Amino acid sequence: MYSTEDDDIGGVDAETRTYELYAGYRYTFSPEEEGLHPFLSVGLDAINAELDVTGAHGEDDTVVGAYARAGLLWDVSDRLRLGVDYRHLFADDFEIDFGPGAEIEADADYDQVVFSVGWCY
């Protein structure tokens, strides 16, 4: 996954970019039956955050963590599937160093809710 955000930090323009890679195991209940398919998932995650602040060289930090995920998939028809899932990431804090006395710590944990539409042809 990739994300970017421009923000104002204490009157200074800043750009944040994150790159994330995750993999894990997912167990789907009753996948062979039509209808509802609840699932549970766990896995490992690596996330890199880059922070560019106006007037300072951009720095980055990479942290590792684990995630837990739960969701529900619904077969609307033979070809259409709707889904919703929740994911929580448990990770170390980012520590981005801009020099002596200029270190920024940021929480890497987050919650995510995804609504999905799947189509098979």
The reported pTM is 0.77
Burial code of 82-117, b = ≥16 C-beta within 10 A, e = fewer? eeebebebebeebebeeeeeeebeeebeeeeeeeee
Segments forming the whole domain that contains residue 89: 2-119
CA distance 65 to 15: 23
pLDDT band at 43 (very low <50, low <70, confident <90, very high): very high
pLDDT at residue 21, rounded to an integer: 95
Residue 96: is its pLDDT beyond 90?
no
16: CATH? 2.40.160
Residue 58: is its pLDDT beyond 90?
no
> What single letter denotes the amino acid at residue 102?
A
Burial code of 23-39, b = ≥16 C-beta within 10 A, e = fewer? eeeeeeeeeeeeeebeb
